[in-house]
């Protein structure tokens, strides 16, 4: 069965690339997806596969039923883009200004659609049921996963698998990790309110810039002095705005940043400590403040049995080797699927050919090795069809 699946996928590779490049030229941002879900729906209707649109918003699900009884396996791919201007010099460069697929979601979609096509053709020989989850809005919290789950995309599902094309890993590598693999991704906003005035008379003001500068420095003590060194946390201020003329002391300043953690207790600690330090800084500088902490996606925590299974599957595919991944501080709303069902999320190596240091994810010149789509499809496909044997 695996040989038949792989043969079909190999024969679809050119179509897979063509579809990926079409999607790359026509990106749609989170929660704004219209043409992409319509394309996905049309693909399944042409196959004669059961498809449902508007799942949790702009999501799409498709169901392929094997002729023989078995478990229900869900496979997920996301399809939203980012608000970034595409700066690559390639024929398939984005045609939409200030929007591009800078994270590989176009590749995820093309790979899953053609895997679905292969599974549909083999359905008379397959066990169980296969649920294809095409998720909108992964890039922007609250994300599409949580609403799709509430709308029933995991109903009846026994296990869920997902992958992310990963340009920092070599082609042919599948990177896995049991337990936490990607971090909880939160955002915080702090407004410091002082009393502005003339730059020549600082003693008559309450300088919001000085207060904000002290706060930026003090926040770094959370990871270095408040979090247990054997655990992980990142607190980064990404924006510090206090606009004024050169000779005017600002009366207010706004700081926006992100916090990344793996353990729930550390997440709680970081949120509390940002507030405590902000309060202390405001008191010390005689300013007032407004602090808001917005929880984004939880950490992606892989289940042990399913992760061990993916390692076995990956190592059985010719030309593919599984390697343990470091924990990544990036966030992913695949976390929600794993809170509801057993499963695992892994990285599929996609480093471009002839490149030592690739442009990273979310970079204006991001691109990936399209051969990685085939490896992703084969790994997910073999995992899906052989999962029944594990039971």
Q: Catalytic positions, please? A: 80, 138
24 annotated as ligand-binding: no
Query: Helices H, strands E: what count in the chain?
Result: 9, 16
Cα–Cα distance between 310 and 59 in angstroms, integer?
26
304 annotated as ligand-binding: no
Could you tell me the CA-to-CA distances from 383 to 74, 180, 363 in Å, in that order? Answer: 11, 21, 31
Query: CB-based contacts of 260: which residues, under 8 Å, 6+ apart?
Result: 183, 184, 185, 186, 232, 233, 234, 329, 331
Cα–Cα distance between 295 and 193 in angstroms, integer?
24
Cα–Cα distance between 365 and 89 in angstroms, integer?
8
- Are 153 and 131 in contact by the 8 Å Cβ rule? The answer is yes
- Are 144 and 333 in contact by the 8 Å Cβ rule? The answer is yes
362 annotated as ligand-binding: yes
Range 353-363 burial, b when 16+ CB lie within 10 A, else e: eeeeebbebeb
Tokens coding 83: 């608000």
**Known binding-site residue numbers:** 103, 105, 139, 164, 362
**Known binding-site residue numbers for Mn(2+):** 103, 105, 139, 164, 362
């Amino acid at each position: 069965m695996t040989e038949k699946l792989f043969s079909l996928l190999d024969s679809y590779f050119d179509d897979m690339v063509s579809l990926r490049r079409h999607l790359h030229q026509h990106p749609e941002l989170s929660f704004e997806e219209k043409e992409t879900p319509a394309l996905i729906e049309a693909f399944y209707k042409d196959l004669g596969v059961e498809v449902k649109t508007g799942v949790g918003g702009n999501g799409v699900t498709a169901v392929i039923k094997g002729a023989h009884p078995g478990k229900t396996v869900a496979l997920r791919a996301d399809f939203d883009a980012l608000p970034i201007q595409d700066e690559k010099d390639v024929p398939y460069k984005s045609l939409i200004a200030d929007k591009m697929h800078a994270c590989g979601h176009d590749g995820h979609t093309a790979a899953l659609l053609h895997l679905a096509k292969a599974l549909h053709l083999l359905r008379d020989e397959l066990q169980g049921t296969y649920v294809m989850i095409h998720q909108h809005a992964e890039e922007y919290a609250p994300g599409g996963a949580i609403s799709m789950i509430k709308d029933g995309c995991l109903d009846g599902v026994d296990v869920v698998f997902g992958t992310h094309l990963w340009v920092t890993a070599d082609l042919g590598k599948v990177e896995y990790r049991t337990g936490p693999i990607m971090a909880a991704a939160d955002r915080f906003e702090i407004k410091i309110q002082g009393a502005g005035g003339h730059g020549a008379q600082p003693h008559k003001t309450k300088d919001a810039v000085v207060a904000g500068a002290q706060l930026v420095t003090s926040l770094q003590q959370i990871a270095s002095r408040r979090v247990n060194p054997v655990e992980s946390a990142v607190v980064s201020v990404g924006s510090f705005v206090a606009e004024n003329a050169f000779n005017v002391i600002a009366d207010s300043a706004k700081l926006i940043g992100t916090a990344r953690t793996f353990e729930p207790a550390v997440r709680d600690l970081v949120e509390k400590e940002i507030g405590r330090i902000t309060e202390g800084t405001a008191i010390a500088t005689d300013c007032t403040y407004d602090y808001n902490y917005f929880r984004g996606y939880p950490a992606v925590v892989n289940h042990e049995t399913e992760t061990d299974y993916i390692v076995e599957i990956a190592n059985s595919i010719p030309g593919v080797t599984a390697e343990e991944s470091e924990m990544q501080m990036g966030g992913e709303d695949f976390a929600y699927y794993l809170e509801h069902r057993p499963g695992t999320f892994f990285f599929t190596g996609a480093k471009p050919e002839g490149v030592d240091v690739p442009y990273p994810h979310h970079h204006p010149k991001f691109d990936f090795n399209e051969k990685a789509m085939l490896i992703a499809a084969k790994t997910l496909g073999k995992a899906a069809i052989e999962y029944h044997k594990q039971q």
